[in-house]
Every structure is written in C-alpha cells, then in structure tokens.
Amino acid sequence: MADMHTGGYAEFATAAVRDLVRLPERASFLQGVVYLVNLRIAYLYYYTFGQVQPGDVLMVHAAAGGIGTLVTQIAKRRGSNVVIALASSDEKLAHCRAAGADYAINIRSADYVTEVLRITGGRGVDVSMNSVAGPTLQTDPAAIRPRGRWLINGYAGGRALLDPNAIMHKSLTLSVFSVYTVRRDEEFTKATAFLDEWLRTEPLESCTRTFPLEAAEEAHRWIEGRHSHGKIALVP
C-alpha cells in the first residue's frame, strides 16, 4: 500500500519508497484501505494524543465515519470506556451502536451539549474527539469536564475560530493534530504493531461501500451528502 497525497485515483501510480506500507498478510486490500488512514488515526486519537484511560467517558463526533467507527471499537474493546456517539441520522446512530457506542445522539434532532450533560450527570466528558470543527468549536467546551482533553483532527463542518477563554476557563488540554506530522515517527511503528495484534484478536472492519474508479464523482457526492457510514473505497 502507499500513502499518497495526490494522484491515487488511477489504475497505476508512483509513490516514494518511504511512503510504502506493507499490507499485513492477514489483511485484504479493502481492509488495508481501512487500516492505512482510519485505523492509524484512531490509534493516534486514542493512544498518542488522547492518552485515554480505562473508564474515561468519550464523546466522538462524526462517530459513524471511518475514523469514528474504529475509535469506538478500540474504546469498547480495549479501554472499557463509555462512548457517546454523535451522528446526523438514525441509520448512522444504529451503525454507531453496532460498533459498541453506549449512547448515540442525533445532532439534527437534539442539542448534543444538553444530552451529554444529562448523560454525564452534569460533569461533561473526559475526552472529546472532534473531526468536525465548524460550529462545534464554540459548543464543545461546555460538554467537556474541567481539565478534560479536547482533540481536534479535522474540519468537515468548516473552519472557525477557537475561543481561548472557553478553553482556559475549564483548563482543557487541547491537541490539534494531523497524521502527516507523525507518519514517519515511532508512533506509526507502534500503530502498525497495534494493527498486527488487532488482526490476530479482532475482526478489522472492511469498507462499508465500494464504488468503481469510474464512479469517483458519485462517491464524492455520496460522502459530501453525508450519506456514508464506515469507510468508502474506490476500486479500479
């Protein structure tokens, strides 16, 4: 497998040797796609930047997405954590529950902060895993406990300003991270070892939907329309 920034939508492509990753023997190509980005980011979320402790209560934004699904699985199978999943449709909430989420909140029909505070008895979550940003950069601090951890890894909901006062007021630990910063670090070697162990002991989810390469445009519309859950792949 190759971790490519651009030029991957093709039958043949070139990649730098240092960006090649060996597909583990036990993994199919469609599992490899799940692994290459999603499982490694889930690992970074949970272990490297999240430093999640057993029993921590986690709030996962876009929890039905490729990364959210795997973070939920890791949290339930490795850390006995309570997972509060946020997603935008009832079908996605069902997907989150199947992945192990303890609570699933439809962000279109409920105010997620109110719901999270109700679930946590007013305390807030220990960790928020947020790949949505946008308006949630304003609302998230209210749903996180004082001295909790706030992890940001994407901005599917758009760019917006962070309010330092909200972060300071609760003494939150903020990590805004990218996989590209660490992809050649020791952490990635650890993530690979994690995958090997995961494949020995757990089923690694495969892609939930594939599109032929010629239908790339349709695949993008599907993702942009927020219809996707799990991981989507293009197959040449």
Ligand X SMILES: NC(=O)c1ccc[n+]([C@@H]2O[C@H](COP(=O)([O-])OP(=O)(O)OC[C@H]3O[C@@H](n4cnc5c(N)ncnc54)[C@H](OP(=O)(O)O)[C@@H]3O)[C@@H](O)[C@H]2O)c1
Q: Is 37 one of the binding residues for ligand X (CB under 6 A)?
A: yes
Nearer to ligand X, 179 or 204 (CB): 179
Q: How far is the CB of 231 from ligand X (least distance, A)?
A: 7
Cα–Cα distance between 234 and 236 in angstroms, integer? 7
User: Among all chains, which residue has been given the structure tokens 């660490």?
Assistant: 182
Among 145, 190, 228, 233, binds ligand X (CB under 6 A): 228
Q: How far is the CB of 25 from ligand X (least distance, A)?
A: 25
- The amino acid sitting at 99 is A
Measured from the CB atom, the residue of 132 and 172 that comes closer to ligand X is: 132
Q: In whole angstroms, how close is the CB of 16 to ligand X at the nearest point?
A: 18
The minimum distance between CB 41 and ligand X, in angstroms, equals 6
Q: Least separation, in Å, of the C-beta of 146 and ligand X? A: 26
Site for ligand X in 162-221 (CB under 6 A): 178-180
Site for ligand X in 39-58 (CB under 6 A): 41
Q: The tokens of 217 are what?
A: 């445009």
Contact residue for ligand X among 27, 58, 82, 132 (CB under 6 A):
132
Which residue, 49 or 198, has its beta carbon nearer to ligand X?
Answer: 49
Task: Give the chain as a 3 state SS string.
Answer: CECCCCCCCCCCCCCCHHHECCCCCCCCHHHHHHHHHHHHHHHHHHHHHCCCCCCCEEEECCCCEHHHHHHHHHHHHHCCCEEEEEECCHHHHHHHHHHCCCEEEECCCCCHHHHHHHHCCCCCEEEEEECCCCCHHHHHHHHEEEEEEEEECCCCCCCCCCCHHHHHHCCCEEEECCHHHHCCCHHHHHHHHHHHHHHHHCCCCCCCEEEEHHHHHHHHHHHHCCCCCECEEEEC
Cβ proximity to ligand X, 166 vs 233, nearer residue: 233
Using the rule CB under 6 A, which residue among 131, 137, 194, 219 binds ligand X? Answer: 131
Q: Of 61-120, which residues contact ligand X (CB under 6 A)?
A: 62, 64-68, 87-88, 92
Residues near ligand X, by CB under 6 A: 37-38, 41, 62, 64-68, 87-88, 92, 131-132, 153-154, 156-157, 178-180, 223, 226, 228
